[in-house]
Structure 1
């Protein structure tokens, strides 16, 4: 199972903004510099996270972004499900384009489906708060 870079970057944005305290806002420029990700790409991710209600954007000269929810209310599994649009590990996972002739009797798809469920079972046990519990170490690695 491999997540898209988009999801990876979105989780990094949430981690970064989750470590901001109070009314302290993060900026796309700041996040871009810390993670070495293009501001343009981050802008798309921030737009999506805002649409999902995970972050808020504040416009203006002193604007930026912040979490729209408490870190303990942002479930990692839910975020990944919201951002990933394709969990077709094999052709047979997609009912609309399954051309595999052994699909009706194949056990592999059931094994992989069970593995995918286990993957999400683990992610569902964690929140953003769990990902930033070592905040001091993360800030040091980010050079902040």
Structure 2
């Protein structure tokens, strides 16, 4: 299974924020993580809606990981960002002619859940223990 670019950007952001003691702006985070500002802004908005990132506007504002975000499981974050869509194109146009009797869809759904379950025991905070924290803190805006 391959994560969407949006999920990848979102996970990189929560990891960087977990290693940060202060506030980061969206623009600074985008530069540090080599992501276009518009993509980062969308990730910030979604993570904020999920209650994982706190945003403050204006002078002295920026982004901060919430306690909920710090202790969130990577599995729950990925589940929320990736959604429940089919991994195969069963309902594409035209739909797959095998879909009425196919077992692949169910097998892929089970595999996706096993993937998520393997990430459920990993918290954001666990992702940023040394040496990852040191590397994350060395990132400079690009």
User: For this structure pair, what is the TM-score category when the shorter chain's length is used for normalisation?
Assistant: 0.7 to 0.9
Structure 2 residue matching 1:91: 3-state secondary structure: coil
- Which string of whole-angstrom CA distances, capped at 9 and with x for unpartnered residues, describes residues 74-98 of structure 1? 1111111211235311234x6x989
> What CA distance in whole angstroms lies between the structure 1 residues aligned with 2:59 and 2:103?
58
What is residue 103 of structure 1 aligned with on the other side? Answer: 99
> What CA distance in whole angstroms lies between the structure 1 residues aligned with 2:89 and 2:114?
20
> What CA distance in whole angstroms lies between the structure 2 residues aligned with 1:59 and 1:102?
52
1:1-144, aligned counterparts within 5 Å?
Answer: 1-21=1-21, 24-69=22-67, 72-92=70-90, 99-134=95-130, 135-140=133-138, 142-143=139-140
Structure 2 residue matching 1:45: 3-state secondary structure: helix
Structure 1 residue ranges without an equivalent (≥5): none
1:105 Cα deviation after fit: 3.3
What root-mean-square deviation, in Å, do the aligned CA atoms of Structure 1 and Structure 2 show?
Answer: 2.3
Structure 2 residue ranges without an equivalent (≥5): none
- Shifted more, 123-132 versus 69-78: the winner is 69-78
8 Å CA contact 1:10–1:46 kept in 2: the answer is: yes
1:70 Cα deviation after fit: 5.0
Runs of 4+ in 1 over 2 A off after TM superposition: 96-111, 137-140
Q: Which has the higher contact order (CA 8 A, sep 6+)?
A: 2
8 Å CA contact 1:91–1:98 kept in 2: the answer is: no
Structure 1 residue matching 2:67: 3-state secondary structure: coil
8 Å CA contact 2:19–2:136 kept in 1: the answer is: no
Normalising by structure 1, report the TM-score.
Answer: 0.82
